Amino acid sequence: MGSGPRGLLIAAIVLLGIGEFAWGWHSVMARLVATRQATAVPHRPPPLPAAKAHLFTRDEANAFLARAKKAEAIADPLQRCLAYPDPPGSHWSPDAVAAFCRYYRLPVITFAEAQQLIQSGHAAELDHRLAAALQAQMTEPGSKGLLDRIYREAFRNGSFDIRPTLDAWMRESPNSAFAYAASGVAYESMAGDARGGAYMADTPQSNVDSMDKLLGQADRDLRRAIALNPQMTPAYVAMINAGGLGLGTSYAEDAARRGLAVAPDDYAIYSILMWAKQPKWGGSIGAMRQLADQAQAHAKENPLLELLQSEAPYYEASNCDCDRDTELAAYPPALDQLASTNDLAAAGHAADGTPRVETSLIYLSEALRFEPTRDNERLHRAFDLVDFDEAAWAVAEANRLITASPRNEDAFKVRGHAYEAMNDYVHAEQDFRAALALDPHDLWTLTQLGDMFVNWTHEWDKGWAIADRMIRDQPENPYGWFLRATIQERQPRAGLKDTVDYFEAHFGSDPQMREQAVRMRAALILQTHSGSKVLAAKGQSTAGKSVAASQ
């Protein structure tokens, strides 16, 4: 070999890391995701003081997970919640935790149950049960928020499909405050759906007109409910929300004033009022803190009100003008007091696409602690469990999701990912293919299959089929070409030069792909100058085995 080729070969070896062909694709993808997230930050308030920063450590997360695993083995739902660890270093009130554990385990009435009673001519029985729930909410410490939860879960679904049932209820019970409150809550929810989630300037006038009409109907029925029973707290909650949607600040504040006059410790009223006082709706951090302080005067009667103390700090943390690590470090002090499951879940999801899996694991676990029905959080935490060497636990979580929803594509993905981590490649392939059957063009699943076939099981033909599929369906995506080049280099297989040339021409100008292009070119140099010897050695080895076998 001349000095020129030898120099190229040495350079190639250096570039490949002393002969190891570690392409590092997943780290590249993670950087791409993180870059997109970091550049999608809207205008936000000033950054939080650096002195508050605290990122959870791996040791803290491991200790938390060990205690959480023991707690989740407890059969009784309430005792499981009570035994769960709080976030490392936090100062959650035991009374607030106990109240919140009970809150999501209260015996609520579902819409299906209400509908069955109404349609069978037993609306009076429904009124009786709701009256008992209101009485328990007002007088029993362990039933705080019971009626509010029933109305939120049973009647606030925004669907016109429930109108015939509610109209029949009001006809059968024309003097039922509960029937009118349910109707008003439903109309208010429908108004929100009619408006949509866009900014008002981007909302069609027809949507605004529909919202206004529905808000008028909601106001009529909510006022009727309160006239029949001034203690109907779900009606005040809906009115405050209707004020935020379109009936105005004074309307919402009047509803809050009247609601708190009859139910001064009602968590649902305070919670929706806190939402209305957020800066993005024209309020302020000062107004949020003032409301939280006001609520603490009644926290002894209803410890759920302690959750309001975290609202303003969490709002500041989640809206800081800062990088992602600074934001994540702001959550432990912001959530030093117990917070709502929505805020806990959002804090966990804020770590998506970052290396800070500890934040995701801890806060998603806390959201599930109180509200186990949050399937999206269960799914994301299952991915975190794999990262913490709890793949078997992740499989059990995925099994639970798939049993409840057999077409849950993401549950198949996470179970396949967990099986792969357990080196159970047969079941991993089955789950990844099940996910692809639900979404044949999903890039993540195709990438996982390709990576498994090429880097772990060395099933080259299967890997080649995945690469072909990706190149055929998504030629603009670099990974299909990348996977093809990997097989051509490692098996080896002909055509590496054409693949490298294509990759450089189409993706080499991307700064995040340039390193991969250099690695691919280095692999080609190695194959070009030593490939014939490798193939010859393989041929001699095969021939030798054949001779030995014949003897």
User: How do the pLDDT tens digits run along the chain, 551 residues long?
Assistant: 444 433 333 333 333 333 333 334 343 333 333 333 333 333 334 444 433 568 999 999 999 999 999 999 999 999 999 999 999 999 999 999 999 999 999 999 999 999 999 999 999 999 999 999 999 999 999 999 999 999 999 998 878 899 999 999 999 999 999 999 999 999 999 998 887 776 677 778 888 888 899 999 999 999 999 999 999 999 999 999 999 888 999 999 999 999 999 999 999 999 999 999 999 888 999 999 999 999 999 999 999 999 999 999 999 999 988 989 999 999 999 999 999 999 999 999 999 989 999 999 999 999 999 999 999 999 999 999 999 999 999 999 999 999 999 999 999 999 999 999 999 999 999 999 999 999 999 999 999 999 999 999 999 999 999 999 999 998 888 999 999 999 998 888 899 899 888 888 888 888 888 888 888 888 888 877 655 544 444 444 433 443 344 34
pLDDT of residue 50: 37
Residues 6+ apart with CB under 8 A from 7: none
Cβ-in-10-Å burial (0-12, 13-18, 19+) of 501 comes to middle
As a whole number of angstroms, the distance between CA 361 and CA 319 comes to: 21
pLDDT of residue 205: 85
Both structure tokens of 291:
């409301």
| Selection from 311, 322, 287 nearest residue 44 by Cα | 322
CATH architecture group of domain 11-40+441-532: Alpha Horseshoe (1.25)
Domain boundaries, the chain: 11-40+441-532, 50-372
pLDDT of residue 521: 85
Question: Is-cis flag, bond preceding 492, omega within 30?
Answer: yes
Cβ-in-10-Å burial (0-12, 13-18, 19+) of 454 comes to buried
For the entire predicted model, the pTM comes to 0.82
pLDDT of residue 280: 86
pLDDT of residue 95: 96
- Beta carbons within 10 angstroms of residue 464's beta carbon: 19
| Selection from 187, 258, 246 nearest residue 222 by Cα | 187
Both structure tokens of 8:
């190229």
pLDDT of residue 69: 97
pLDDT of residue 40: 34
Phi, psi of 18 (to 5 degrees): 55, 45
